[in-house]
Structure 1
Amino acid sequence: MKTVSATPPGHEFGIRTLLVLAMAMPMLLLYAVSSLGPQLVRDLAIAPESLGYFTVGSFGVAAVLSLRAGALVDRLGTRFALCLLFGSVALTFALMASLPGFYSLLPATALLGLAQALANPATNLLIARRVAPQHKAFVVGLKQSGVQLAALFAGAVLPVCALKLGWRGAFALVVPLALVLALWSLRQTGQPSSPRTARGPLALNARLGLLMAVQCCVGIILSAFVTFLPLYAVGLGMAQTEAGLLVALFGAMGMMSRLVMTPLGGRLREEAFLLAGLQLISGLSIAIALQADTTSTTLLWLAVSGVGLSAVATNAIAMSMLIRDQAFGGVATASGMVSAAFFAGFAIGPACVGELARRSGSVASAWGALLAVLALAVVLSLCLAQLRSRGGVTTV
């Protein structure tokens, strides 16, 4: 892999901060809808299960665009790709803060799909070109922790802002931040590299296909769990602000797991076994959540910590595998393909669980179906480990 000169020491902190925020901002809507869910349901006069449709537009578009996002990033360069990413975040949140009614908001969320599609290819390519090999695994974990930083912010800050400004006012606060980051990305990443011819479509090899399938399952689990978490907690008697803190805890545990588990995976001979183990822990955690009731809400805090410490780390480990193992394909394009599968899971997870909850009458019974999805993810991870052991791993 061709690597551009390493980042100068004076710019290293700025690049890493930009990487974290580039992952955080496109995912903020998911956690904002989750933490402000009870208020959205009340103010928009919608059924609680309808919250899942907020993610269908953005992650559905992200899944489709991700198939070619790698080629687009190769052509634009990381500088303009990141500027486009933050600009689309600003436009989405501006529309969300101003458009009336539930059905007018849904198309606005689709705009965020562009930012979500660009996030992993742009940040992974920046790491591949600007970060020394011995630091790559840690920096991948660091930038992936930005997704959970979004959850921490949404759970701890947005409910408090919404009490004073309303949920629309809370959304509006994101717009100037995203615009500042768009301008900062032009300065921080330096001059764009010389124009490159975009590569053709990536041949879907077996190991890439298996990793995509694993990440689709993980996307279903994470999105369905966190979207309905506050509603489930409020149903057990928690206040909305306390339920928002569950999302913040999920984010904090996820940040910790990605910072610790990604470098650990980079030192293992086979990271796919780590993926399988973390998914098993996630299954146990969700099973614990299903045992919570009005007299044992402590179990819910324990379950949220478990999912945050396990399933959340798997996406960061997968991205580290793509950067380190050339057999998956080119970094930007392979990242886009895996992101497409991950976002497809995010698009269908909340909607499907919401429909199951509507038919069964409870979120708990719908969450039970997630255990079967996790079992499939474990099997797929073990198949990936076996395939890589036969074909070998070529690291960079």
Structure 2
Amino acid sequence: MRIPGPGEQTRQSLRLMGGASALTTLGSIPPFLLGAQAVWVRDDLAVGLGVFGVAVSVFFAAAALGSLGAGVLLDRLGRRAGLATAGVLVAGGGAAMALLVSGPLSLLACMAVLGLGNASCQTAANLSMARALPPGRRGLGFGVKQSAIPLAIMLGGLAVPTLGGQLGWRSTFVATALAGTLVLGRAVARSGASAFRPPGAAAAELDRPPWAPLLLAGLGITFASAAANFLGAFVASWGYEVGLSATTAGLLMAAGSAGSIAVRVLSGHRADARQGRNLPVVAVQMYAGAACLVGLAIAHESTVLVFGFLAFAVGWAWPGLLLFAVARVGRDTPARASGVVQAGAFTGGAVGPMGFGALAGQVGFQPTWLLAACSFVVAGTLVLLARRGFRADLLARPPREPLAHGGSRVR
């Protein structure tokens, strides 16, 4: 068998990272497309703001439930099955949004299908990063892959003056349906390729991670995702309330998203140079997010600009690093381990904007920012507790494959 040279390995790694990032963007973009075109969608379907908010929550709730099932499916059947499932769901959901949605019930049903497609996209991309990339590049891979989330926010905004503005909001979902069809075609074309199953391990013999710390990590990202998604949904409204113009508030979100992309990639790159110790970095980033939200509660234009940017760039830089660490200590089942964490992230995405948003409407933004900061503190503490559980399990039950990168190194 021919061994690829360093140059070819680099090109293969870049293709895998680019493919995983594109797949993550495709799965994540529907609620941002919907939000960016909210005025047109609500006028066309005659739905109120409440129904619109429920539709976004349904997307994340379906993704949370789907992530658990997708993790089990992909660990047994391989990445190609995940790609095919993602392609079918994204193509079908996008086509239904473009052609069939006519009212509240059909809108909710289509968003549920697209949420399940997002779960399949994310889990398949996680499995690619955990199995197909060389060990010394997996941290960078997860950082690049998770940078697709702020990229999806940017693309959702760009859809308004381009495709949506010219051809209507339904045309943007035609584009997602076509992209889903391409994913399905690629999965079918790879019928003879490796499925990235753990070598030589039957389902009953798989070396699985400990459930208790894994659930703690999933709960931690639920609290962190709730606070972070509240930030993304309402920082522009808060900025406008303290005196920023709508244009400046929009630029703050764009700059924060760009900063988040840069820090996520840098965090992944630095993780590849470490022998573990990734979860403490995740906790520090969450604690930094808490400090930024406290600063954001100060009702002044300059503090909103400074702490708003830092909250995006540093306080929301942890998703890729957390997934990298958990997938590595997932042993023979990285898709299932990352699926639990993704489910927590989607649950926070569904609950955070809705719960914190309702609270802000009742008591105002300032106390709500402080409560969201507390959510970040709880998240960081849960991540540190999860790390203690992972370390204890690695010492009591050494894995079949030593963990040279990510997680705790076994001595």
**Does the alignment reach a TM-score above 0.5?**
yes
Report which stretch shifted further, 42-51 or 173-182: 42-51
Higher mean Cα deviation, 265-274 or 313-322?
A: 265-274
Letter in 1 for 2:136: Q
User: Does 2:293 correspond to 1:289?
Assistant: no
Residues 65, 117 of structure 1: 8 Å contact kept: yes
Deviates further, 229-238 or 47-56: 229-238
Task: Quote the residue 1:263 is aligned against.
Answer: 269
User: What residue identity is the alignment partner of 2:33?
Assistant: A
Q: CA deviation at 1:343?
A: 1.5
Structure 1 residue runs without a partner (length 5+): none
User: SS of the counterpart of 2:318?
Assistant: helix
Q: Percent identity?
A: 23
Matches within 5 A, 1:1-396: 9=9, 11-37=12-38, 40=41, 48=49, 51-98=52-99, 99-187=101-189, 191-193=193-195, 198=203, 205-233=211-239, 243-266=249-272, 267=274, 269-292=276-299, 296=301, 298-326=302-330, 330-360=333-363, 362=364, 365-388=367-390, 390-391=392-393, 395-396=403-404
Tell me, in whole angstroms, the C-alpha distance in 1 between the residues paired with 2:362 and 2:4: 54
How large is the Cα RMSD of the aligned pairs? 3.4
Distance 1:386 1:263 in 2: 24
Preserved CA contact (<8 Å) 1:66 1:337: yes
Compared with structure 1, are the counterparts of its residues 193 and 265 closer, same or farther at alpha carbon in structure 2 (3 Å cutoff)? closer
Q: Which amino acid aligns with 1:290?
A: A
CA contact (8 A) 1:159 1:241 kept: no
Taking a change above 3 Å as real, the CA distance of residues 312 and 335 of structure 1, as seen in their structure-2 partners, is: same
Deviation at 1:335, TM superposition (A): 1.4
Q: Distance in 2 between matches of 1:83 and 1:102?
A: 29
Q: C-alpha separation between the residues in 1 aligned to 2:67 and 2:46?
A: 33
SS of structure 2 residue aligned to 1:223: helix
Residue 134 of structure 2 aligns with an amino acid whose one-letter code is A
Aligned equivalents of 1:348, 1:206: Cα separation in 2: 23
Rounded Cα–Cα distance in structure 1 between residues aligned with 2:19 and 2:191: 9
Worse overlay, 239-248 or 22-31: 239-248
Distance 1:268 1:114, change over 3 A: same
**Deviation of 1:72 (Å):** 0.9
Distance in 2 (CA, whole Å) between partners of 1:314 and 1:344 is: 17
In structure 2, how many angstroms separate the alpha carbons of the residues matched to 1:142 and 1:237?
35
TM-superposed deviation, 1:110:
0.5
Greater C-alpha radius of gyration: 2
Question: Counterpart amino acid of 1:173?
Answer: A
Q: Distance in 2 between matches of 1:112 and 1:355?
A: 25
Higher relative contact order, structure no. (Cα contacts within 8 Å, ≥ 6 residues apart): 1
Offset of residue 381 of structure 1? 2.5
Q: CA deviation at 1:150?
A: 1.1
- State the TM-score, normalized to the length of structure 2: 0.80
CA contact (8 A) 1:156 1:244 kept: no
Which amino acid is the alignment partner of residue 334 of structure 2?
V
After TM superposition, give the deviation of residue 166 of structure 1 in Å.
3.9
Q: Is the 8 A contact 1:85 1:119 kept in 2?
A: yes
Task: Please give the per-residue CA displacement for 1:270-317, whole angstroms capped at 9, x wherever unaligned.
Answer: 222211211122122223333356xx2x54443342232224321211
- Residues 15-67 of structure 1, C-alpha deviation per residue, up to 9 Å, x if partnerless? 22211111111111233344344655666666556543223212212222222
CA positional deviation for 1:192 = 4.6
How far the C-alpha of 1:226 sits from its partner, in A, is: 1.8
Encode CA deviations 1:90-118: one digit per residue, 9 max, x unaligned.
32233333412344312211002222222
Question: Structure 2 vs 1, CA of residues 236 and 112 (structure 1 numbering), >3 Å: closer, same or farther?
Answer: farther
Q: SS of the counterpart of 2:316?
A: helix
> Normalized against structure 1, the TM-score is what?
0.83
Cα 1:80–1:341, aligned 2, differ >3 Å: closer, same or farther? same
SS at match of 1:141: helix
How has the CA–CA distance of structure 1 residues 199 and 258 changed in structure 2, closer, same or farther, with 3 Å as cutoff?
farther
Q: Which whole-Å CA distance do the structure 1 matches of 2:244 and 2:161 have between them?
A: 14
Paired residue type of 2:323:
M
Contact map agreement 2:27 2:122 (CA 8 A) in 1 = no
Bigger mean CA deviation after superposition, 339-348 or 19-28: 339-348
Structure 2 CA distance for aligned equivalents of residues 200 and 49 of structure 1: 48
Checking the alignment, whether the CA contact within 8 Å between 1:121 and 1:336 is kept in structure 2 is yes
Cα distance in structure 1, aligned partners of 2:38 and 2:299: 20
The separation in 2 between residues aligned to 1:239 and 1:167, in whole angstroms, is 26
Q: Cα deviations across residues 317-366 of structure 1 (Å, max 9, x unaligned)?
A: 11111233356x62121111222222221222222123324434x45554
CA distance in structure 1 between the aligned counterparts of 2:281 and 2:143, rounded to whole angstroms: 15
- The answer as to whether partners of 1:262 and 1:313 remain within 8 angstroms in 2 is no
